[in-house]
Amino acid sequence: MMRKSKRLASFGLAAWVVLGGLSYGTPASAAPGKGTTGELLTFDRSAQDYFIRLTMNTAIMIAAQINKEQAQCVAEWYPDDPKVVRKRNTEILRIMEKLPETYPTAVVISIIQKECGKFGQ
């Protein structure tokens, strides 16, 4: 039981880092219109790609601490192949266009969970 509680505590911290910390990580991000997906979509494509890559790398690191199979799944879905990364980023950005009022990290994490299962399980 102690091990499971430790895993859940790790997941709680990890979720806060990914969902809160990467959503621009400042108190201003809680203000309406700050740090939203719509705002990210106004940035140039290289900044959008960088944001997605950063979120993916963080998710892989966190998953590796909780569930190595999930980390492997994410790494395989979002590999270091530039052609695949470009395709995945385009898919992610298309989904983000439909959800401008949400937080971009939440969109990316939702996509990862759809592909590779929920974090912490």
111 domain residue, yes or no: yes
- Percent of the chain having pLDDT more than 90? 67
29 domain residue, yes or no: yes
- How far apart are alpha carbons 67 and 7 in whole angstroms? 10
121 domain residue, yes or no: no
Instruction: Using pLDDT thresholds of 50, 70 and 90, give the confidence band for residue 120.
Output: confident
Q: What is the pLDDT of residue 95?
A: 97
pLDDT digits (tens, 9 = 90+) for 29-58: 444 557 899 999 999 999 999 999 999 999
Tokens describing residue 37: 């997906």
Q: Which helix (H) or strand (E) holds 78?
A: none
Q: What's the whole-model pTM score?
A: 0.72
Q: How would DSSP label each residue in 16-54?
A: IIIIIITTT-SGGGGSTTSS-HHHHTTS-HHHHHHHHHH
Total domains, the chain: 1
Can you give the residue range of the structural domain that contains 109? 2-116
Q: Roughly how many angstroms between the first and final C-alpha of the chain, as a whole number? A: 15
96 domain residue, yes or no: yes
